[in-house]
Structure 1
Amino acid sequence: MKFYSRIPYFIYLLLVLAGCTTGKNALQKGNYEAAVSKAVDRLKSSPRNNEASGVLSKAYDLSLKNSLRIIDEAKMSTNVLRWETIMEQYGKINRMADEINGCPSCLEVVPAPQKFVREYEDARLRSAEVRYALGQNLLSENTRESAKRALQNFEMVKQWVPGYKDINNKIEDAYWASVLKVVLRPVIVNSNYYKLSSDYFQQQIENYTANYRNNKYVAFYTEKEANAKRLVPDQVINLRFDDFIVGQTYVKEKVEKLKKDSVEIGRTRDNKPVYGTVTAELSVFEKSISSSGLLGVAITDWQTNKVVTQKKLPGTFVWTDSWANYKGDERALDRNQLALTKRRETVPPPPLTLFVEFTKPIYSQFVDYLNSYYSRF
């Protein structure tokens, strides 16, 4: 009984699926072009499907009429971008014709699908002309924002008509007019001794900015590159280590009294083990060398020389070492304690290395700060 009670549901489900594959549902929702595509696909696999044939006939007729109506309305419009609407609608009509022409059984339903090749090409060319003129006007406003919009227009022209006039040059001009040009000045550190380490930090930053791709409207230059190109920047990044301390050393000694019971301490004359308690005094030494610094970042507007944003970025690196010695019976020590007594005090890294180490967390913060600030341009 349960099986038979489910039969109507399965029949309903099959009907729904059939409607989906023939395009019936899309037709009922007014998605005429989608209905045509689905019906064509269905007729390719099932040439005698009556429902798909009916959907194709009705959907094609409605889609064609709807597109021609939109084209006529657009031609009478004063909208400067009306040719793009016309191009889009002719494109829809032509795509439907291509789909139907590629399906023999579909041609029995729609024997001569209309195609507007010349009209489409004319609308595409006129659309390119309009966008080119808009781009020209925007570019002449000489602002970054208008140059961005000009670039968008020129890129659309190239997409539609790749060889249109001097479009490649126009895209290049608009791009560089829209780019925020930022010069990265050398890091200032008030110490000749640490200049080599700060140069390493500088190189890391320059490597990052040279490969910056997060915002195509922002370009970074070193001061040397800017001078060579005679570049007039929009902004300048100034970096200075305002404060740093390298090699602050701290040594701690911790003394522990150790005792372990039930340890074999000897043997009797008849070679039986004698157990007792062993003791030792363990001295553990912990040495830490702390290095830290503060990088001041100030981004200034080139024309006004005013700071537009600034931040202090801290960084710390702590090098640690530990060793131990003991007095008494080593059997009172566990394995880790004994291993620690085998170690000797390690020679710490040189100051220049410690400087580089505390700049690593600063570098990470700087990159995050840079990405956050320049994402808005």
Structure 2
Amino acid sequence: MTSRHISLKDLAKELNVSISTVSRALRDHPDISSEVKEKVKQLALSKNYTPNPLAMGLLKQETRMIGVIVPDLVTHFYASIISGIEQVANEMGYFILLASSNESVEKEKQAIENLLKARVEGFIICQTQETQSTEHFEALIERSIPLVFFDRICLSDRVPTVTVDNKAAAQKITQHFYQQGYRRIAFISGPDQLNITKERMAGYLEGLKQSGLPEDPELIEHCNLSFESAKQAMARLLDTANPPDAVFGINDTVAFAAMQKIKERGLKIPDNVGLVGFTDDFHAMVVDPPLTSITHPTYAIGQEAARLFFQSKDNKQYSTPVVLQTQLIIRKSSQKTCHGDHDDAETAW
């Protein structure tokens, strides 16, 4: 038989006093006599009473809970960011309620509704790849519910955001390829509406320009960020009359899919096709060859998102967007000019 959580009401009923008397006794309120305080505390101890933070929060109109919504709960990228959020939240006496949108805008909307019913005080969100309309976010803003976006963002003129310098990172990737001797550099992009797509596309094009390489529409393919969609995009690139000798994937999942398709075609990485990803997933180090990738300061992203949340909550003011820097971790998948003992080296740029 499951034991029920002992409430203030249960203690009050047994002692034949009011709930407020029990509550004040447990808080050592000066209006309560020492004798009553002792009785209340002894009973609470014998019944293993512990305060219900949700009930206490409702009394104060403050539940000390933050709703965190991410596209998935599996990848290290989001897990590390969540850890950063949780660390700052715990320092502030808050805890987080997690929800996964599974890249579905309908699930994203439902998660917001469910977390509001759980009385979260606000949200920290990475939007889905499907999200185009911002009405469900604007409804939160209109109700003055604190909201922070990270990585995939929108409404950045009204909502605090945390991102990395996607444009500079993508430009660095393109120039790295050029320095390694690659000249037909392709980009497998994501959904057009995402800020990460726009910013990384801009960096890719700027990198081509800085390297003196022409823009070629045949070298740009789109996918929906799924493994299969990315494989199909890579196949289309390889089927062109003049296929690429290097490929930049908008994230590591896309790059892993491209790697599989390249190998299926009997081509060698990095000799026939160089490959670079973005996010530096754990698997980047264990695939063959190890994948060159942009590494995010994921834990710091989470910390900054949580700090912005509390600033927004306390000041009710818009905060300047936070943009963090990245590193290009160079591994074998893009080291065309490296030979011998240096093939397995890992360097940061």
On whether the aligned pair clears a TM of 0.5, the verdict is no
| Greater percentage in helix | 1
Greater relative contact order (CA < 8 Å, ≥ 6 in sequence) = 2
Larger radius of gyration: 1
TM-score by length of 1: 0.27
TM-score by length of 2: 0.29
| Greater percentage in strand | 1
